[in-house]
Amino acid sequence: MKIATWNVNSVNARLPLLLEWFHAVQPDVCGLQEIKCIDEKFPVEAFESLGYNCAVHGQKSYNGVAILSKYPISDVRKGLDDEEDDHARYIEAVIEAPKPVRFGCLYLPNGNPIATDKYAYKLRWLERLRARAEYLLTLEEMTILAGDFNIIPTKDDLWKEAPWLNDALYQPAVRHAYQGLKNLGYTDAFEAQLNVSGTPEGNRYTFWDYQAGAWPKNEGIRIDHHLLSPQAADRLFDLVIHKDARGMTHDEAKPSDHVPVVVELTTKS
């Protein structure tokens, strides 16, 4: 069972590329972030024609998340909790596969610049995510929290440390909060797979900025993650970062600045 996450930077601007990729890769489930549209403008029919069910939590212009699934989707939840939050950044649902998976798709706040309320919002959002993550573990289900975390977990997850020392993606408090999620009992799928089989072609980045020639210079960072509950981690079989998607074009469509990351779980009993 293939479970993907992809920050697409506008689902409608990216649609031809997305359809090509979904047709080729055939993930069973995919979380999308930064769809940048309201629910009514999400291209449901295009994805349905490829065999996907859609659950959408959209917003005008910014943010917005969605879950696509070849299996039926149930128990859809939009938003982390009851706290007031005018950003659409979290959607969760149960994927009704033979072995059901609870899937949380998240777009964590960027938080820059760090001396502002944007950074405080990121830290608060991390506290709220931790509370939800902690609750989900009590269910003792196969659970995956995946998305654009806007967190660079370690020094190995960037090409050079200096430019990031004052960036919200690499602050000690933010990295500590990510470690805290792992301390609860979640496994970072990339780290776990790295321990088993190394990094294919040496790449571990999931994002390359549009600016300053970051992509041709391979100045990337790893910020798109899958966190697996113990029940899901026990079934981790593979993880593939689709680096080639960063160079994809399709007619007039340009690539996202993020690439898809696909986790494969075994379905044997």
Partner DNA sequence: ATGTCGCCATATTGGCGA
Query: Annotated binding site for Mg(2+): which residue ranges?
Result: 7, 34, 148, 150, 257-258
Binding mask 4-33 for DNA (x = CB under 7 A): -----xx-xxx-------------------
**Shortest distance, CB of residue 195 to DNA, whole angstroms?**
29
**Shortest distance, CB of residue 178 to DNA, whole angstroms?**
17
Active site residue 242: no
Q: Is 109 in the site for DNA (CB under 7 A)?
A: yes
Contact 148, 64 (CB under 8 A): no
Q: How far is Cα 29 from Cα 83, in angstroms, rounded to an integer?
A: 28
Residues facing residue 4 across a β-bridge: 30, 262
- Give the rounded distance of the alpha carbon of 77 from its chain centre: 17
Q: How far is Cα 140 from Cα 138, in angstroms, rounded to an integer?
A: 5
Look up residue 9 and give its DSSP letter. Answer: S
Report the site for DNA in 185-214 (rule: CB under 7 A).
209-214
Contact 236, 263 (CB under 8 A): yes
Chosen residue from 72, 163, 230, 247 binding DNA by CB under 7 A:
163
Q: What angle do CA 210, 215, 219 make, to 5 degrees?
A: 105
Q: What number of chain residues touch DNA (CB under 7 A)? A: 25
Cite the active site residues. Answer: 107, 148, 258
Residues at the interface with DNA (CB under 7 A): 9-10, 12-14, 36-37, 60-62, 109-110, 112, 118, 163, 166, 209-214, 216, 253-254
